[in-house]
Amino acid sequence: MFSRILIANRGEIALRIIRAAKSLGIESVCVYSTADAHGPWLQQADQAICIGDAPSADSYLRIDRIISAAEITNSEAIHPGYGFLAENAHFAEVCKDSGFAFIGPSSEAMALLGDKVSCKNLARKTGTPVFPGTDDAIEDTEEAVEVAQSIGYPVIVKAAAGGGGRGMRIARDETQLREGIESARQEAAAAFGDGRVYIEKFLEQARHFEVQVIGDSHGNAVHLFERDCTSQRRHQKLIEEAPAPGVDRKKRDQVVESAAALIRRANYSGAATVEFLMDHDQNFFMLEVNTRVQVEHPVTEMITGIDVVAEQIRVASGEPLSVKQSDISVNGHAIECRINAEDPDRGFMPQAGLIEDWRPPGGPGVRLDSHATVGYRIPPNYDSMIGKLIVHGPDRATAIARMRCALDEFTVGPIRTTIPLHRRLMDYQPFIDARFDIHYVERWLEEPAAQA
């Protein structure tokens, strides 16, 4: 096992990684930008090194400085967290070539699953359900038009290098398809330096379902069941829960097992998430694989009792997974609300500034993953998420009741947060009944009842 790791991230995930390291008897080194010099998480680390100015391009994205910090501090491994360099295969390779273990997959496995075309082809081999569409990137527009005719409109054009909603075009007829292929190609070439696009059947109304998986370097791979991430706005998740409510057990078990088979086939070591859409009849279709730890991993930890971040560190050091599939089961229900410093009444405008009041909730089954404190000044340079409130209970109704109490207790000021919005959403019947689709929050926000 490592004795010291470097954390190439900030905020709540840096703190989460410090905690996991400490629990394994490992020292942690944080790198930080000048904007984060007073970041409360740095006090929990064993060492902290400033690597540059506030813009991420001058600090958290500077591979050279992160590697130098790892060298200076005699760190043995580097944890990228999420965002920044977490899904950058070049960074994973530089870490390895510089003699540091990357706490994540090999750059090869990352590239294989990060490319949506090669990932989909691998999924077809492992029985992971995918949308019908072109098997490979489109070379000939006429062939794509034929495929669209055979699967039927609407179809969606996606970038092989895309993700998170970038570089997509919906086409409802042949004219839109021809235009969509061209414009998606150009956007993808400009944004990712890779203009390859493919098409698949477009699903109008769906739930977002994702499977937590972890593999080790001994050929083992397990799933930690699923999460529902349907409550989102503009590709930003608001609420995540585990397990996914109302899903047929047999269908669920097939999908989660197919997700583990996919990463096993990729010789994948580390944590990953296999994302799916689920239609009205509970048919599943894979979207993409995220090759990192995700913001919403705590709901999985609450229902399985497994420390996902500690497991990431274990497998990166060469140890086998500490759990077998037959040891893993679902206990109760967990819900996470992302607490963002944003004003929902003003278009979710990010709120920077001093936190003068911070009274976190408590009680049975309540967990708060946050780096914020009274006196913490939120810098304007980074993501607006200042914490995650997670509740666990024996069933979904109890978890919702606990989340209502916790949100009522949770007082933050004077900066605006998404806490009151979450509280109202906990009383919204479609959420309570889990009769929702990926656009329901956006529709709800148009209603007067959603307003403060």
The residues annotated with a catalytic role in the active site are 292
- Minimum distance of ligand MV4 from residue 342's CB (angstroms): 18
Residue 291 in contact with ligand MV4, rule: CB under 6 A: no
Q: Is 438 in the site for ligand MV4 (CB under 6 A)?
A: yes
Asked if 209 and 284 count as a contact pair (C-beta separation under 8 A), the reply is yes
Binding residue for ligand MV4 (CB under 6 A) from 127, 152, 165, 413?
165
The answer to whether residues 229 and 323 touch, using CB atoms and an 8 Å cutoff, is: no
Q: How many residues bind ligand MV4 (CB under 6 A)?
A: 16
DSSP readout, 304-335? H---HHHHHHHHHTTPPPS--GGG----SEEE
Q: Which is nearer to ligand MV4, 234 or 250 (CB)?
A: 234
**Binding residue for ligand MV4 (CB under 6 A) from 115, 228, 288, 369?**
288
Q: How many helices (H) does the chain have, and how many strands (E)? A: 14, 22
Rounded CA-CA distance 226/244 in Å is 6
Q: How far is the CB of 82 from ligand MV4 (least distance, A)?
A: 15
Decide: 28 and 344 in contact? Cβ < 8 Å: no
Question: What's the Cα-to-Cα distance from 83 to each of 56, 133, 295, rounded to whole Å?
Answer: 11, 29, 10
Is 156 a binder of ligand MV4 (CB under 6 A)? yes
Stretch of 162-170, 251-259, 294-302, 421-429 contacting ligand MV4, by CB under 6 A: 162-170
Closest separation between CB of residue 358 and ligand MV4, Å? 31
Which stretch in 42-50, 201-209, 250-258, 305-313 sits in contact with ligand MV4 by CB under 6 A? 201-209
Q: Which is nearer to ligand MV4, 116 or 371 (CB)?
A: 116
By C-beta, is 287 or 302 nearer to ligand MV4?
Answer: 287
Out of 232, 290, 291, 418, which residue is the one contacting ligand MV4 (CB under 6 A)?
232
Amino acid identity, position 235: H
CB-CB neighbours of 389 under 10 Å: 24
Reference 361, options 304, 419, 303, 416; nearest CA is 419
Beta carbons within 8 Å of 332's beta carbon, 6+ residues apart: 302, 303, 392, 393, 394, 395, 398, 399
Q: Which span (1-9, 194-202, 344-352, 409-417) binds ligand MV4, by CB under 6 A?
A: 194-202
**Single residue of 79, 120, 208, 338 touching ligand MV4 by CB under 6 A:** 208
From residue 22 to residue 61, what is the string marking binding to ligand MV4 with x (rule CB under 6 A)?
----------------------------------------
Q: How far is the CB of 247 from ligand MV4 (least distance, A)?
A: 16
Q: Which of residues 263-282 bind ligand MV4 (CB under 6 A)?
A: 277
Q: How far apart are the first and last CA of the chain?
A: 50
- 72 with 280: CB under 8 angstroms? no
Q: How far apart are CA 80 and CA 58, in angstroms?
A: 16
What's the min distance (Å) between Cβ of 213 and ligand MV4? 17
334 to 83, 239, 421, 452: CA distances (angstroms): 24, 11, 19, 26
Element (H, E) at 2: none
* Interatomic CA distance for residues 297 and 292, integer angstroms: 10
For residue 319 the two structure tokens come to 């140890």
Q: Identify the bridge partners of residue 237 per DSSP, sorted by sequence position.
A: 232
Nearer to ligand MV4, 186 or 205 (CB): 205
Q: Per-residue string for binding with ligand MV4, 106-145, x by CB under 6 A?
A: -------------------------x--------------
- Tell which one of 130, 148, 203, 425 touches ligand MV4 (CB under 6 A): 203
Q: Site for ligand MV4 (CB under 6 A): which residue of 99, 127, 152, 164?
A: 164
| Residue 202 near ligand MV4 by CB under 6 A | yes
Q: How far is the CB of 443 from ligand MV4 (least distance, A)?
A: 13
Stretch that binds ligand MV4, among 59-67, 160-168, 218-226, 377-385 (CB under 6 A): 160-168
CB-based contact 247:230 (threshold 8 Å): no
Least distance in angstroms from the C-beta of 147 to ligand MV4: 13
Question: Alpha-carbon Rg of the chain, whole angstroms?
Answer: 22
Burial class (CB in 10 A: 0-12, 13-18, 19+), 69: buried
Among residues 8 and 289, whose Cβ is nearest to ligand MV4? 289
Cβ nearer to ligand MV4, comparing 27 with 210: 210
Give the helix/strand (H/E) hosting 9. none
**Options 21-29, 76-84, 202-210, 368-376: segment touching ligand MV4 (CB under 6 A):** 202-210
Residue numbers at the binding site for ligand MV4 (CB under 6 A)? 131, 156, 163-165, 200-203, 208, 232, 235, 277, 287-288, 438
